[in-house]
Structure 1
Amino acid sequence: MEDKTKQSTPYPLRMSEDLRSKLEDEANKIGRSLHAEIITRLEKSFDKNENTPEEKIHEFFKIIDDLIAKNLKLSELLDAKIQDVEKVNKKQGRV
């Protein structure tokens, strides 16, 4: 396991003023330093459990497609049952 208390060699990071401003704003909102915000965001980029927005959208549409397919199957089963009941009713003169 890594020793997180060990200091690493500083790494100068160049970024645009606009990006720095955005990062500082986000860090200030939750009470983090700019350094902590950058480190947190970089660590999250390696998190295998965190899906990108595109992956989340793809997963959402897959769920919707599955639900539509299940709904169609249920609809077909219901139609078949209705036809069966109508046939029985017709035979028994209830129609």
Structure 2
Amino acid sequence: MNIVRLLILLAVLVVGLIIGALNSQPIIISLGFTQINSTTGVAIIIALLSGALIGGGLVLASMVIPLYAKLRRAQKAAPAVVVAPPSSSTFDGR
């Protein structure tokens, strides 16, 4: 499984390098109060990364955290199940 993750990481890294190399035109990003000088490739990669992080955060806040809270409430409401320890009998099943 670790080799698959490594291959995916390398593929994403290569795609990022290709995007950065093919889009090397300088741009100026104006934020109203300041300006940022960058290249098109860096701006594209940062936009993709920030979109993925914001989307993941929204999913976490709107779905995962409420489901964990619901699971905790359900576990507190469920009666505790006591499992008896296995007996020390010498009976082997024959």
| TM-score of the two chains, using structure 2 as the length reference | 0.38
| TM-score of the two chains, using structure 1 as the length reference | 0.38
Q: Per residue, is there more strand in 1 or in 2?
A: 2
